[in-house]
Structure 1
Amino acid sequence: MNAIISASELASDLAGQNRPVLLDIRWQLSTAKAAGEPPFDGRAAYAAGHIPGAVFVDLDRELASPPGAGGRHPLPDVAEFGAAMRRAGVSARVPVVVYDGGQGWAAARAWWLLRWTGHPDVRVLDGGLPAWDGPLETSAATPAEGDFEPAPGAVGLLDADGAAALARSGVLLDARAGERYRGEVEPIDRVGGHIPGARSAPTNDNVAADGRFLPAEDLHARFKALGASDGTEVGVYCGSGVSGAHEVLALAVAGIPAALYVGSWSEWSSDPSRPVAVGPDPQ
């Protein structure tokens, strides 16, 4: 099954009999803001205009647990996640399409969580809302309660020890910007650098200038050059399990299964006993 859907395909599906559930996951990473600039408000963006029928889902509150020892975006409580998805109208036998403001990270987090908990038919709108050229609405959708019951474990999940082991036995990709991988800057976490043995694979290199994914064959070639050939076990991490989910999605588009280390660098680097590598080489 395709992991992404184009805007034209979505418009066709919305006009058909098997209309998908639409989830709006607009979110932005909270970093240092210009003086006086308010933080991004995804719910306000949703209220200003969204694809007709879409339901807003809050990444920080519904797709993650509160920050803590498990990182900035730990896995959500499974029961609470299931309840949030049912409130949004998600059912086991109804397709789901998720989108965000165009970066794709937040939508991929929702895609990964639904896939990990067993939903069989989830796709991300390629290019997000900017790719949509249909009408928008401002009234909040009120879907009927869904019946989705999460069953975790359908796709790969890594913890810190599993990520460390995979960096030696397979391929562990670091989806953050190259300068963070190399340890040259670290705007968010305790220390810069990367998990020893991990290979730098910035998420932004998986998409074109318009935010849409590169063709599958180009992505496959990219990941093969990074060591992710057929039969190789592959894992991904990022800062807190959001952009890493986007890289897992890119790997899926390329036909390569991969596990996600959800705690990612925000969890790894919070423990001073864990080793840190710096520079351009995996080490």
Structure 2
Amino acid sequence: MNAIISASELASDSAGENPPVLLDIRWQLSTAKTTGAPAFDGRAEYEKGHIPGAVFVDLDADLAGSAGSGGRHPLPDVEHFGAVMRAAGVSADRDVVVYDGGQGWAAARAWWLLRWTGHPSVRVLDGGLAAWDGPLRTGEEHPAAEGSFVPEPNAKDLLDADAAAALARSGLLLDARAAERYRGDVEPIDRVGGHIPGAVSAPTVENVAADGTFRPAADLADRFNSLGASETSEVGVYCGSGVSGAHEVLALAVAGIPASLYVGSWSEWSSDESRPVAKGPDPQ
């Protein structure tokens, strides 16, 4: 199954006999601490207007654990995640579609977690809510019945720090952050700038068109192949805290290239002063 779904396809599926479960993951990387701007309230935005039938899921509370030595957005407690998914109506035998405000990062995090824990049919709305031209519903919604999804995590889609370091030497490790953070020119969030030695810069923003929808699969395949992906190479991705990196894993899936995610990402790696840091445009 394709990892993404268009707004027109979603409208058609939602009108069918077995509509997908819809999850609204409205989220925005907070800049309140550095700019003084008010914190983004995803639930409030959801209640102002969402795709009919969608249930709100909070990324920080439900799709990540508490920030700490494991990074800013470590894996959530699996039992908690499963309970949240069931409360939202998720079952293994029913399609799930996730969306966010349009950037796609938060929706991709939910997509990756559901795939990592064994859900067989989950897609991301391409372009997010901005691509939806159908009706919106206000207030909060709850599913008619609780779902039955039981998470069963797998090891093959997940990298820890040691595995990411090894993959940077033996395969292809992509850094999904902005190029200036990869080079170490600036670092607005973490302890130090730079990248994991051997990682290749591949900003996730280059996977989408101006309207926020994914570039065609063939274009994405060409991009990743030019960066070193091949039929025989093992591919992994990291970012700042495991959110935009999930979006890059999604882009790779659209291109037909399987990839693992280092969830702790740079926020975990850079917090440990014993780990090496490379700077500049060269991977090494």
TM-score category of the 2 structures, normalised to the smaller one: over 0.9
Q: Secondary structure at the match of 1:241?
A: coil
Aligned match of 1:103 = 103
Provide structure 1 residue ranges, at least 5 long, that are not aligned to the other structure: none
Aligned partners of 1:268 and 1:31: how far apart in 2? 21
The two structures, once aligned, show a CA RMSD in angstroms of: 1.0
Of stretches 18-27 and 33-42 in structure 1, the one that deviates more from structure 2 is 33-42
How far the C-alpha of 1:37 sits from its partner, in A, is: 2.5
Is 2:146 the counterpart of 1:150? Answer: no
How far the C-alpha of 1:18 sits from its partner, in A, is: 1.5
Aligned match of 1:23 = 23
User: Judging changes above 3 Å, is the alpha-carbon distance between structure 1 residues 189 and 120 closer, same or farther for their aligned structure 2 residues?
Assistant: same
Aligned match of 2:217 = 216
**C-alpha offsets along residues 81-131 of structure 1, whole Å, 9 cap, x if unaligned?**
000000111011000000000000000000000000000000000000000
Aligned 8 A contact 2:32 2:39 in 1: no
AA aligned opposite 1:250: A
Residue pairs, 1:25-174, within 5 angstroms: 25-32=25-32, 37-143=37-143, 144-153=145-154, 156-174=157-175
Q: Secondary structure at the match of 1:209?
A: coil
List 4+ stretches of structure 1 deviating above 2 A. Answer: 31-37
Aligned 8 A contact 2:159 2:262 in 1: yes
Q: Secondary structure at the match of 1:219?
A: helix
Aligned 8 A contact 1:182 1:193 in 2: yes
Percent identity of equivalent pairs: 80
Aligned partners of 1:247 and 1:129: how far apart in 2? 19
Aligned match of 1:230 = 231
Aligned 8 A contact 1:170 1:232 in 2: yes
Q: Secondary structure at the match of 1:22?
A: strand
How far the C-alpha of 1:32 sits from its partner, in A, is: 4.8
Aligned partners of 2:107 and 2:156: how far apart in 1? 17
Aligned 8 A contact 2:31 2:37 in 1: no
Aligned 8 A contact 2:105 2:243 in 1: yes
Q: Secondary structure at the match of 1:235?
A: strand
* Aligned length, in residue pairs: 283
Aligned 8 A contact 1:118 1:154 in 2: no
AA aligned opposite 1:118: G
| TM norm structure 1 | 0.98
User: Judging changes above 3 Å, is the alpha-carbon distance between structure 1 residues 36 and 280 closer, same or farther for their aligned structure 2 residues?
Assistant: closer
